[in-house]
Amino acid sequence: MKAVCWHGANDVRVETVPDPKILNPRDAIVKITSTAICGSDLHLYDGYIPTMEKGDILGHEFMGEVVELGSAVKNIKIGDRVVIPFTISCGNCFFCNRDLWSLCDNSNPNAWIAEKLMGHSPSGLFGYSHMLGGYAGGQAEYARVPFADVGLFKVPDGLEDDQVLFLTDIFPTGYMAAENCDIEPGDTVAVWGCGPVGQFAIRSAYLLGAEQVIAIDRIPERLKMAEEYGKAKVLNYTEVDVGEALKEMTGGRGPDACIDAVGMEAHGTDFMGLFDQVKQTVRLETDRPTALREAIVACRKGGNVSIPGVYGGFIDKVPMGAAMNKALTMKTGQTHVHKYLKPLLEHIQKGDIDPSFVITHQLPLEQAPQGYEIFKHKQDNCIKVVLKP
Ligand code: NAD
Ligand code: ZN
């Protein structure tokens, strides 16, 4: 089959690789019909995430048709159209039983590597390095889905791929980010980053009852989408002092909740060089105000800081003093997609939201290398790229 393979920083190639096979009774093989490039893929493309190997298949936002099933999968049929959470979860462990699916204890055989490198043992993810399980990703014609009995969600008839594809990641991610803000009536929520995740965080903050959402970015088209589709007030951080502007817009108090939907991009640091020598202690220094720092400082006393943005290692200069003395609540994490998928599917079915609004580019799988470049550099007004195998 054809698949998008990682070959180093800024180097992805479409190659012919062996088809995936059923390895365990709870596996399924899915023929992929749509697959997207995520801001998280850019961390791999930028070379920020260690334990990638040349030839690794990328992609964790994908859907398609079930073509083969392991003997233990009884709740799904061959031919079913399915979406697949990007986090791999067993459905039976301490964490899965508490709806903390992205913290599954049984889906990452290489958790010890992450533990050693980063001090944590996350669940497995599709297409996201060996320390996160070494699973082949879904930017390909086929993928193997482990724990398919809990990891495949049947798509109801009448919904297009574009409407449900983002249930795999960015819609639940934006939603969990907003839910982590514990929004109360009248609240103002500020969202750093108007990429796909930020766009869904904005929409979700309103779905959860926010009075006002303020969105921050530097890319005009992304700010425009936040304003027009998201009904957010917008700030271009290259033009205004974000902290001052937020104060002014909130009667001097600061937003009730702040969402960092940026992650590592804001650091502008050479992670590649650092992670080449991952065994050394990694210290990241930068004088640029990062989204996260700005969010902590801007948030009102007693407010909530929600961090869907991905961080891969250690970061310095997080203003812990401000967080502590303002009694902030901070919540973060890879998204518990399995928990949110069905309720968010209902929102789509009811017409509360059509997630396809973020798609600006549809390309054949063969053009994935161009897709990565366009998405990384926000060329051609790009917000989200969907690849069609
Ligand atoms: P993206 O790269 O398309 O968007 C990031 C946006 O942040 C860009 O529009 C950029 O201009 C903006 N930005 C950069 N620095 C900024 C700053 N200092 N202040 C305000 N805006 C700034 O990525 P995306 O797909 O929207 O993903 C966003 C983040 O969410 C990434 O870190 C990604 O890894 C993460 N993510 C997390 C999860 C999860 O489970 N927690 C899932 C998916 C994505
Ligand atoms: Zn993603």
Q: Is 70 helix (H, G, I), strand (E, B) or coil?
A: coil
Residue nearest to atom 4 of ligand 1 (CA): 195
**Residues 320-327: contacts with CB within 8 Å, 24+ apart?**
322/296, 322/297, 323/296, 326/299, 326/300, 326/301, 326/302, 327/301, 327/302
* Three-state DSSP state, 242: helix
Determine the residue type at 186.
Answer: G
Cβ atoms of 139 and 57 closer than 8 Å:
yes
**In the numeric block, which tokens belong to residue 254?**
């600061």
Interhelix angle 220-228/196-207, rounded to 10 degrees, is 20
**Spatial distance between the Cα atoms of 329 and 192, rounded to a whole number of angstroms:** 17
Ligand nearest to the CA of 84: 2
Contact 257, 299 (CB under 8 A): yes
Total residue count of the chain as it appears in this document: 389
pLDDT at 119: 77
The CA distance from 102 to 168, in Å, is: 13
Which residues, judged by CB distance below 6 Å to any ligand atom, belong to the binding site of ligand 1?
Answer: 38-40, 42-43, 169-170, 173, 192-198, 216-219, 222, 237, 261-266, 291, 308-310, 334-335
Residues with Cβ within 8 Å of 206's Cβ and at least 6 positions away in sequence, in order, are 213, 230, 231
What's the confidence (pLDDT) of residue 207?
97
Tens place of pLDDT per residue across the chain (389 aa): 999 999 999 999 999 999 999 999 999 999 999 999 999 999 899 888 889 999 999 999 999 999 999 999 999 999 999 999 999 999 999 999 999 999 999 999 999 988 887 777 789 999 999 999 999 999 999 999 999 999 999 999 999 999 999 999 999 999 999 999 999 999 999 999 999 999 999 999 999 999 999 999 999 999 999 999 999 999 999 999 999 999 999 999 999 999 999 987 754 444 444 444 443 333 333 444 589 989 999 999 999 999 999 887 666 678 899 999 999 999 999 999 999 999 999 999 999 999 999 999 999 999 999 999 999 999 999 999 999 99
DSSP letter string, 36-49: EE-HHHHHHHTT-S
| Angle, CA 169 vertex, CA 377 and CA 330 arms, to 5° | 90
Protein residue with its CA nearest to atom 44 in ligand 1: 40
Ligand 1 probe mutation, 60, 126, 197, 293, most atoms within 8 A of CB: 197
- 3-state SS assignment for residue 372: helix
Res 289: pLDDT: 53
What pLDDT is stored for residue 316 in this prediction? 67
CA angle 372, 376, 382 (to 5 degrees): 90
Residue among 45, 62, 262 to mutate when testing ligand 1 (max atoms within 8 A of CB): 262
Tally of CA atoms within 13 A in the half-sphere of 228 that contains its CB: 8
Taking CA atoms only, the protein residue closest to ligand 1 atom 24 is 39
Give the pLDDT of residue 11. 97
How much of the chain is helix, strand and coil, in % rounded to 5?
35, 20, 45
Contact 275, 313 (CB under 8 A): yes
Three-state secondary-structure class, residue 283: coil
Q: What is the pLDDT of residue 282?
A: 36
**Three-class SS of residue 340?**
helix
